[in-house]
Structure 1
């Protein structure tokens, strides 16, 4: 039966994508969906691969920290390369490196008991690849759609990524419990290979044109001056350098251990992470309709709930309650993400946005390797419960400190006055932090084994 031979006698029409969603947009969105789906599961698989070899919480933290440390080391180099080499080529090469590192990680886990240094080295390779991928991917999505449709494009892209996070976490946790972490890592490696193939088919000649540069160090200095001149910008970057670290420690180190001892293992933990993904979808839908005037004040207030998962883990609450808490934190992540990205697009000159974004991302992840590495020793020294309460307290205290900055409280959404933000950008549902990382999706905590859940992943 053809589509014209429907029993009702009416022609059935196959839904077509909207006109603004061209081939490049569909390829980027599809590739990112695939990698986010695999990376969400690989985050769980990596932790349980370490635990399966008899590793301690400290060992889990070391392996998770290796990825973010590599990102910190190579991020500015990656940004410089992305300004001088076609971005598509950088993205495809990074995907190939991630596919190779995850594939070897999977083989080692399936073959027996990989050494801790091997797992850390392979995870670091993935982090280095991400450091090159993220700057190259910054702005690529915007080049695929007209400005008038940017809001719709980011809305669809963001919801797609959050859907992948939900499905990947739930499926990954179930597969780790059913067949072991090695196979989940293998699926993630295959996803990177498929995504790289899709990105190699992008037709983006206009996006690959580069302009003359005045020198790497001079450009970095100009970007630094933009950051240092705005208290709201450097204040929030400093805040998230710690917040991202403690959230990553809770999700990559403490969470899997608490789940194994009190919640029933990887399956319930995966469902709890999936609940956070559901929250991000709900938060994104909320922020499509809600347009608060004081964007940073509302966004910063949305950071307080990020302390709740640490408190829930400290109390070893049943996993359904933990899932509800994670759901609330997911909504809060989106509330912050919208305000933050609108502030950046509204206040930062377009020609300096990539350099400011590089400092933003670098500052936001700089402390994460240290937090991951110290998570195990802190639990050993003070007790895991005390360490978790300390993590919750740090989120609350730093967020309260940021609210003391007048610019954070007063910065308003651009109204009808002239602004670098167009009407379409004002409707934007942003794609999270610049190119990031990390799998939760604001200035997202890093620590996954894949590209993470940032928009450009």
Structure 2
């Protein structure tokens, strides 16, 4: 918590609470805003897919984040999100807004997210020294979790009592406040570069592929992300809307994960597991627990309780992973490596969302969510096997290089 007293970083943490609160509100507002106009699963899939499709621009966001002052990049992304969500709020006041309009505005919010995501993962390296980064990353995770918690809890009530239009307007307003807070930060001015964007992307790609632990874990999390998107974006809202508690229940379920993350971030700072590789790989698999319960048609309070576990596990994973990248990747290429890491996970998001609606219509909610859970479990087992084989092969070859997703230092092994 001492990081909160760092004047150089405190506005970031406050901004993350406010902006993350808006994310939770926006997710519920978008789903119920579309469904409230009489659109079904297919149309909901299309609109949500349009909000995720710009994730393909994450690579551009990586180049921007390494070329300009990083707090300026975050400010611009928040202002763009502010405009998009205020416009969505206006659209939700219509009796039945045209689907192309909803798709376009959702896509604009996705562009803002594509610029924001890789840069926010690297900004702690600008604001805090190496010894403070682990705690700083944990506090970023905690403040985001606190914001998501507030957002999801309040979203159900706002959508139920005031409607999706008001919820979307709140999302846009909070993004604007976040941009003002980010303007108080001071980040490094990048050195001038004469290389073009394509060459810069290639340099980031070399840093990304030159470390097997980075791309192996990235492929693993790609499948986890696809399963989570299916569950969070499509199946979950449809499940609760069809006789399992409605918007209020989905708000509580969504809030359970960030509630667990509040504790998980503390664990991530203090925990030094002796077997860091398998622990880090296993953490994201916990997302399958609430999915399997939903597949068994469990009551929504049970699903909400189960969602605490992946919430905590994801926060620990974030601290391990983000700190490792900030410590091991050159500062000048950090955001580009983050962009390569993120884009592989998000590139399947539009396809996943587009397919989820029709698949739910064709096969039903329960078979689809169970399949997503099984995919998360299977890819985790495969990743553990690949890392073990790679470790054995290098050991035999005498290379002595550790393929762990988080580099292990002697002091950490002793502490563990």
Give TM-score scaled by structure 1 length.
0.81
Which residue number in structure 2 is paired with residue 175 of structure 1? 158
Q: CA deviation at 1:199?
A: 2.0
Q: Number of residue pairs matched?
A: 401
Which moved further from structure 2: 400-409 or 156-165? 400-409
State which of 165, 185, 189 in structure 1 corresponds to 2:172.
189
State which of 408, 411, 415 in structure 2 corresponds to 1:414.
408
Aligned counterparts, 1:427-442, within 5 A: none
Q: Deviations along 1:18-73, whole A, 9 cap, x unmatched?
A: 5873334222111221111111111111111111111112222211111221121x
Counterpart secondary structure, 1:201: coil
Which residue number in structure 1 is paired with residue 65 of structure 2? 82
Given that residues 3 and 139 in structure 2 are in contact (C-alpha distance below 8 angstroms), is that contact kept between their aligned partners in structure 1?
Answer: no
Counterparts of 1:30 and 1:403, CA distance in 2: 37
Q: CA deviation at 1:138?
A: 4.2
RMSD: 2.5
Given that residues 102 and 185 in structure 1 are in contact (C-alpha distance below 8 angstroms), is that contact kept between their aligned partners in structure 2?
Answer: yes
Counterpart secondary structure, 1:263: coil
Given that residues 169 and 270 in structure 1 are in contact (C-alpha distance below 8 angstroms), is that contact kept between their aligned partners in structure 2?
Answer: yes
Aligned counterparts, 1:294-313, within 5 A: 294-313=275-294
Which residue number in structure 1 is paired with residue 126 of structure 2? 143
State which of 4, 8, 12 in structure 2 corresponds to 1:28.
12
Which moved further from structure 2: 82-91 or 37-46? 82-91
Which residue number in structure 2 is paired with residue 405 of structure 1? 386
| 2:369 is aligned with 1:388 | yes
CA, structure 1 residues 81+367, in 2 after alignment: closer, same or farther (shift >3 Å)?
A: same
Aligned counterparts, 1:11-410, within 5 A: 21-72=5-56, 74-202=57-185, 204=186, 207-406=188-387
Counterparts of 2:251 and 2:64, CA distance in 1: 36
Which residue number in structure 1 is paired with residue 399 of structure 2? none
Which residue number in structure 2 is paired with residue 438 of structure 1? none
Counterparts of 1:149 and 1:346, CA distance in 2: 11
Given that residues 16 and 144 in structure 2 are in contact (C-alpha distance below 8 angstroms), is that contact kept between their aligned partners in structure 1?
Answer: yes
Counterparts of 1:142 and 1:219, CA distance in 2: 19
- Long gaps (5+) in structure 2: 392-401
Counterparts of 1:266 and 1:95, CA distance in 2: 26
Counterparts of 2:354 and 2:45, CA distance in 1: 5
Counterparts of 2:314 and 2:100, CA distance in 1: 33
Counterparts of 2:362 and 2:9, CA distance in 1: 50
CA, structure 1 residues 26+118, in 2 after alignment: closer, same or farther (shift >3 Å)?
A: same
Counterparts of 2:307 and 2:315, CA distance in 1: 13
Give TM-score scaled by structure 2 length.
0.89
- Long gaps (5+) in structure 1: 1-16, 418-422, 428-457
Counterparts of 1:315 and 1:262, CA distance in 2: 15
Counterparts of 1:55 and 1:370, CA distance in 2: 19
Q: CA deviation at 1:271?
A: 0.7
Which residue number in structure 2 is paired with residue 445 of structure 1? none
Structure (1/2) with the larger helix percentage: 2
> Which stretches of structure 1, 4 residues or longer, exceed 4 Å deviation after superposition?
17-20, 407-410
Counterparts of 2:233 and 2:333, CA distance in 1: 34
Q: CA deviation at 1:273?
A: 1.1
Q: CA deviation at 1:315?
A: 1.8
Counterpart secondary structure, 1:389: helix
